[in-house]
Chains A and B, each alone.
Chain A
Amino acid sequence: EVKLLESGGGLVQPGGSLRLSCAASGFTFADFYMSWIRQSPGKAPEWLSFIRNKANSYTTEYNPSVKGRFTISRDDTQNVLYLQMNTLRTEDTAIYYCAKHEWQLFYFDYWGQGVMVTVSS
């Protein structure tokens, strides 16, 4: 059974940083592209970033809304996906999900349960 479990969320002041983790199990993590997606209360999901697999050089892409502030990475030895978030803004407040891609496609066939990030003074 595929499982994705996010952690690392919480309350942070504007301008602060957080690192989210996503522990993956139930599939060969190293083979798949992975993404971070967020959802503000009552809003549609917003894709943030994805990272390719080793075969595709772990290259990354970012939504312009977070490019330069957020960094995605992965540890295939530990089956963990990360999102380093810097210079956080109040508008970054949302539930953050990690999601597995359907092969190398831009469809997300498994999502974690999500972790809440609140940016507030």
Chain B
Amino acid sequence: DIQMTQSPHSLSASLGETVSIECLASEGISNYLAWYQQKPGKSPQLLISFASSLQNGVPSRFSGSGSGTQFSLKISNMQPEDEGIYYCQQGYKYPPTFGGGTKLELK
């Protein structure tokens, strides 16, 4: 299985700050990378697919980049509603696998 490693495990950001979350794949996955946001007690929500393609309705302060094995999610202008756990997921090869998650809190 392809292993997805996220860093950091957790971080806190002030209102308006820009944060980045990294995701490393154990082998090349081209750009078959998705990012999800999960809030407490809720199911994950797809934010970005194909590493950088924003889903409809997702604020433009979210952006994704990367290809091959290294990817990142950037959140500009941190807002209270951005608190949650963020997961990356590779959709390149069976079985699709998720990273361990990054917990983002408002400082």
CB proximity of B1 to chain A, nearest CB, Å:
8
Which A residues are CB-close (under 8 A) to B87? 44-45
26 contacts between A and B (CB under 8 A): A44-B99, A44-B101, A45-B36, A47-B95, A63-B95, A64-B95, A97-B43, A102-B46, A102-B49, A105-B91, A106-B32, A106-B90, A107-B34, A107-B49, A107-B89, A107-B91, A108-B36, A108-B44, A108-B89, A109-B46, A109-B55, A111-B43, A111-B44, A111-B45, A112-B43, A114-B43
A13 within 8 A of B: no
Partner of B46, one of A47, A97, A107, A112: A107
Interface residues on B, range: 20 to 34
CB proximity of B8 to chain A, nearest CB, Å:
15
Residues of A within 8 A of B (CB): 44-47, 61, 63-64, 97, 102, 105-114
- Chain A interface secondary structure, helix, strand, loop or mixed? loop
Question: Which residues between 71 and 95 of chain B lie within 8 Å of chain A, taking CB atoms?
Answer: 87, 89-92, 94-95
CA distance A64 to B45 in the complex (A): 25
Complex contact A61–B94 (CB within 8 A): yes
- Chain B interface secondary structure, helix, strand, loop or mixed? loop
Which B residues are CB-close (under 8 A) to A111? 43-45
Complex contact A46–B49 (CB within 8 A): no
B98 within 8 A of A: yes
CA distance A108 to B35 in the complex (A): 10
CB proximity of A44 to chain B, nearest CB, Å:
4
CA distance A102 to B48 in the complex (A): 12
Complex contact A113–B43 (CB within 8 A): yes
Which A residues are CB-close (under 8 A) to B45? 111
